[in-house]
């Protein structure tokens, strides 16, 4: 049982017109909340629903509190407050310790007594699984891989050899960490020669890695994901990349080899980053942008063109093909002008 006072404490919010002993059973959107549920207002688009909400209380900003017809939990940052409050209602999966009969654990592996190794899992030679780790079904933990305390591998996660996973890391289904980087050298006979990938992957504490995301091992040094990084689904991080602490990367981001992403950066969905580039701290790159050169200053960056009606886009495309011709004509006219001919 969770009371409104406990929700307010977790959200670091101020109660307004509330009975702190009111029992809260869950969270719901403004237009669907019922008695016993809390709701939230984090975007102006949803203000019209506030006047008619049936929620037991609403998490919102001081500016919106005056218009709230029901009790409120007032917070400077309602989005963060909501995230902390909602965490109280997430079903928790805690390790109960033990190894499922269908799992295979190499005798040289070290598995803490409080860790759980689920059905059909494999833990290879020299691996270390820390206290309170939960390894879901069909996961593979490779040779000499370390999994830090309280980490959870949800299901079908593959950690290849010599991977280091920090504490309290959450890895969603299908993620592959430590597969070979795409290292190839073109020989004189036109055939590709594989460059051995001798490094590993180092993942810091409190990282979250989305479903089907892949992080390649380094060629010589480790690929590094620093503490607090949040990776969405289907992201590709190539060998020797370094992602700075507390950065967030949305779905389908692709980062080529040896790129460096700063701390507290945000990359929108589908962003591509070319290899061997450096992005400064606190950079935001909007969705579907291509980063083709290093970014030295913090701020927001974009590339590409937004969607347009097809007929208009065809005209724009035709004009884009003529840009080089137009540039040359303008340059020629400027040259004539400077010579005094016109």
pLDDT of residue 190: 96
Q: DSSP letter at 105?
A: E
d(CA 275, CA 56): 51
Q: Which of 239, 246, 264, 276 is catalytic?
A: 239
Cα 75 to Cα 321: distance, rounded to the nearest angstrom: 52
Domain assignment present for residue 213? The answer is yes
Q: Are residues 205 and 264 in the same domain?
A: yes
Residue 320 lies in a domain: yes
pLDDT at 93 over 70: no
Q: Quick one: pLDDT at residue 342? A: 53
Domain presence at residue 190 = yes
> Would you give the end-to-end CA distance of the chain in angstroms?
85
Q: What is the pLDDT of residue 303?
A: 94
Whole-number pLDDT of residue 311 = 94
Say yes or no: 254 and 121 in one domain. Answer: yes
Domain extent at residue 63? 2-89
- Look at residue 94 and tell me if it is in a domain: no
Q: Would you state the pLDDT for residue 341? A: 57
Does the pLDDT value for residue 86 go beyond 60?
Answer: yes
Closest CA to 122 of 94, 93, 158: 158
**Residue 174 binned pLDDT confidence (cut-offs 50, 70, 90):** very high
C-beta separation of 337 from 322 below 8 A: no
- Same domain? For 118 and 66 the reply is no
Average pLDDT, the chain: 95
Report the pLDDT averaged over residues 206-218: 98
Residue 144 domain-assigned (yes or no): yes
**Pair 103, 143 in one domain:** yes
- The number of distinct structural domains making up the chain is 3
Kindly state the average pLDDT of the residues 140-169: 98
Structural domain ending residue among the three candidates 89, 117, 133:
89
Chain position carrying tokens 């969603």: 172
CATH of the domain at 182: 2.160.10.10
User: What's residue 41's pLDDT?
Assistant: 95
Domain co-membership, 214 together with 281: yes
Q: How confident is the model at residue 18 (pLDDT cuts 50, 70, 90)?
A: confident
Higher pLDDT, 117 or 334: 117
* Cα–Cα distance, 342 to 337 (Å, whole number): 5
157 and 109: one domain? yes
Residue 133 and residue 12 share a domain: no
Query: How does pLDDT run across 104-138, given as a tens digit for each residue?
Result: 999 999 999 999 999 999 999 999 999 999 999 99
Summarize pLDDT for 33-62 with one digit per residue, the tens. 998 999 999 998 999 999 999 999 999 999
Residue 189 is assigned to a structural domain of this protein: yes
Residues 116 and 166 in one domain: yes
- State the residue for tokens 């403004």: 30
- For 228-248, what is each residue's pLDDT tens digit? 999 999 999 999 999 999 999
State how far the alpha carbon of 11 is from the alpha carbons of 40, 92, 177, 199, 208, in Å.
Answer: 12, 18, 34, 41, 21
**Same-domain check for residues 67 and 13:** yes
Rounded alpha-carbon distances, angstroms, from residue 24 to 53, 56, 61, 118, 324? 16, 8, 20, 33, 64
Residue ranges in 17-148 assigned as alpha helix (H): 62-65, 78-86
* Alpha helices (H) along the chain: 4-11, 62-65, 78-86, 310-321, 323-338
Looking at the structure, do residues 39 and 182 belong to the same domain, yes or no?
no
172 is catalytic: no
What b/e sequence results for 236-245 when a residue is b if at least 16 CB atoms lie within 10 Å of its CB, and e otherwise? Answer: bbbbbbbbbb
The CATH code of the domain that includes 10 is 3.40.1390.10
Task: Check whether residue 38 and residue 117 sit in a common domain.
Answer: no
The span from the CA of 173 to the CA of 340, in Å, is 70
Co-location of 202 and 245 in the same domain: yes
* Two tokens, residue 201: 């992957």
């Amino acid at each position: 049982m969770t009371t409104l006072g406990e929700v307010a404490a977790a959200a670091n919010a101020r109660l307004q017109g509330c009975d702190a002993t009111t029992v809260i059973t869950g969270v719901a959107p403004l237009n669907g909340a019922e008695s016993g549920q809390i709701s939230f207002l984090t975007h102006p688009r949803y203000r019209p629903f506030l006047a008619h909400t049936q929620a037991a209380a609403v998490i919102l900003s001081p500016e919106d509190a005056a218009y709230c017809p029901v009790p409120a939990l007032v917070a400077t940052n309602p989005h963060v407050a909501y995230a902390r409050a909602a965490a109280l209602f997430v079903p928790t999966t805690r390790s109960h310790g033990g190894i499922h009969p269908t799992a295979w654990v190499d005798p040289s592996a070290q598995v803490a007594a409080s860790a759980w190794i689920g059905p059909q899992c494999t833990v290879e030679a020299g691996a270390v699984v820390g206290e309170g780790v939960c390894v879901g079904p069909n996961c593979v933990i490779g040779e000499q891989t370390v999994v830090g305390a309280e980490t959870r591998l949800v299901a079908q996660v593959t950690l290849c050899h010599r991977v280091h996973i920090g504490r309290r890391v959450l890895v969603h289904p299908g993620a592959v960490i430590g597969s070979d980087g795409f290292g190839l050298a073109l020989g004189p006979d036109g055939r590709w020669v594989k460059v051995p990938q001798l490094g590993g992957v180092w993942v810091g504490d409190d990282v979250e890695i989305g479903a089907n995301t892949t992080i390649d091992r380094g060629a010589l040094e480790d690929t590094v994901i620093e503490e607090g990084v949040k990776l969405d689904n289907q992201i590709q991080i190539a060998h020797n990349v370094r992602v700075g602490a507390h950065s967030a990367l949305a779905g389908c981001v692709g980062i080529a080899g040896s790129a460096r992403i700063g701390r507290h950066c945000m990359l929108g969905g589908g962003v591509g980053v070319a290899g061997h580039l450096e992005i400064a701290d606190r950079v935001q790159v909007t969705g579907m942008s291509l980063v083709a050169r290093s970014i030295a200053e913090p701020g927001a960056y974009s590339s590409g063109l937004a969607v347009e009606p097809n007929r208009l886009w065809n005209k724009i495309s035709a004009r884009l093909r003529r840009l080089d011709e137009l540039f040359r004509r303008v340059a020629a006219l400027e040259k004539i002008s400077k010579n005094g001919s016109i």
